[in-house]
Chains A and B, each alone.
Chain A
Amino acid sequence: MQENIINVENLSKSFDISSKEPGLKGTLKHFVKRQTKSIEVIKNINFEIKKGEIVGFLGANGAGKTTILKMLCGLIYPSQGKLSVASYLPYKRRPNFLKQITLIMGQKQQLIWDLPPIESFYLNAAIYDIEKFEAKRRIKKLSDMLEIESELYIPVRKLSLGQRMKAELLAALIHKPNILFLDEPTLGLDVNAQRNLRKFLQIYNKETDATICLTSHYMKDITSLCKRVICIQEGCITYDGKLNKLLKKISPLKDILIICKTDKDVKELSNAGFIIKNKNQKEITITIKKDSIKSTLFKILNKFDIEDLYINEPPVDEIIGDILVK
Chain B
Amino acid sequence: MFNLSKNKIITLLKVQYSNMLEYRVEIALWAISGIVPFFMLNIWTNNNLNESINLSDAMLSRYFLSAFFVRQFSVVWVVFTFEEDALLGKISPYLIQPLNPFFRYFAQHIAEQITRLPFAILIASIFFLFNPESIWIPSLGIFFLSCVSTFFSFLIQFLIQSIIACLCFWTEKASSIEKFLFIPTLFLSGLLAPVISFPEYVKSWIYITPFPYLIDFPANLLSGNKINIISGFFMQILWILVLFPVFKLIWSLGTKKYTAMGS
Chain A residues lying within 8 Å of B97, measured Cβ to Cβ, are 98, 124, 127-128
Q: Least Cβ distance of A126 to chain B in Å?
A: 4
Out of B18, B93, B255, name the residue touching A108 (CB < 8 Å).
Answer: B93
How many Å lie between the Cα of A188 and that of B260 in the bound state? 21
What B residues does A114 contact at CB under 8 A?
19, 22-23
Asked whether any CB of chain A lies closer than 8 Å to the CB of B263, the reply is: yes
B122-150 interface mask toward A, CB cutoff 8 Å, 1 = contact, 0 = none?
A: 00000000000000000000000000000
A103 CA to B11 CA, complexed, in Å: 22
Please judge, given known A-B contacts A75-B258, A123-B11, whether A98 and B5 are in contact too, CB under 8 Å: no
The interface bits of chain B over 9-21 (1 if a CB of A lies within 8 angstroms of the residue's CB, else 0) are: 0111001001100
| A123-B12 in contact (CB<8A) | yes
A126 and B12 contact, CB distance less than 8 A: yes
Asked if A103 contacts B93 (CB within 8 A), the reply is yes
Contact of A122 among B11, B92, B258 (CB under 8 A): B11
Within the complex, which residue of B5, B12, B19, B263 is in contact with A115, where a contact is CB–CB below 8 Å?
B19
A interface footprint on B81-103 (CB within 8 Å = 1, 0 otherwise): 00000000110111111110000
With a cutoff of 8 Å between Cβ atoms, the chain A residues found around residue B22 in the complex are 114-115
B3 within 8 Å of A (CB atoms): yes
A104: shortest Cβ distance to chain B, in Å?
9
Q: Are B3 and A95 in contact (CB under 8 A)?
A: yes
Select from chain A the residue with minimum beta-carbon distance to B98: A95
- The answer, among B8, B255, B256, B263, for a CB contact under 8 Å with A66, is B263
B42 interfacial contact with A, CB 8 Å: no
Kindly state whether residue A144 has any CB partner on chain B within 8 Å: no
| Contacting pair A108 B263 (CB below 8 A) | yes
Asked whether A73 is an interface residue with its Cβ less than 8 Å from the other chain, the reply is: yes
In the complex, whether B7 has a CB less than 8 A from a CB of chain A is yes
Residues of A within 8 A of B258 (CB): 75-76
Binary interface encoding of chain A residues 153-179 relative to chain B, with 1 for a CB under 8 A from any of its CBs, else 0 = 000000000000000000010000000
Q: How many A-B residue pairs have CB under 8 A?
A: 82
B94 contacts which chain A residues (CB < 8 A)? Answer: 110
Judged by a CB distance under 8 angstroms, whether A259 is at the interface is no
Q: Are B8 and A126 in contact (CB under 8 A)?
A: yes
Q: Does B56 contact A (CB under 8 A)?
A: no
Q: How far is the CA of A77 from the CA of B92 in the complex (A)?
A: 13
Q: Which residue in A75, A99, A105, A183 is a CB contact (below 8 Å) of B98?
A: A99
B259 interface residue per 8 A CB criterion: yes
Compute how far the CA of A115 lies from the CA of B19 in the bound complex, rounded to whole angstroms.
6
**Bound CA span A93–B97, Å:** 9
Is A107 close to B, CB under 8 A? yes
Enumerate chain B residues within 8 angstroms of A75, measured Cβ to Cβ. 92, 95-96, 258, 260
Least CB separation from A132: chain B residue? B7
The answer on a CB contact under 8 Å between A115 and B15 is: yes
A318 interface residue per 8 A CB criterion? no
What 1/0 flags go to A162-205 for Cβ under 8 Å of B?
A: 00000000001000000000010000000000000000000000
Q: What would 18 A/B residue contacts be, using CB atoms closer than 8 Å?
A: A66-B263, A74-B95, A75-B92, A76-B260, A95-B98, A103-B92, A108-B90, A108-B93, A109-B93, A115-B19, A115-B22, A122-B11, A123-B11, A123-B12, A123-B15, A124-B97, A128-B97, A129-B5
Residues of A participating in the B interface, judged by any CB pair closer than 8 Å: 15, 66, 70, 73-77, 91, 93, 95, 98-99, 101-103, 105, 107-110, 112, 114-115, 119-120, 122-129, 132, 172, 183
With A66-B263, A74-B96, A98-B96 known, 12 other A-B pairs at CB within 8 A are A75-B96, A76-B258, A93-B255, A98-B97, A101-B96, A108-B90, A108-B93, A122-B11, A123-B11, A123-B12, A129-B98, A172-B93
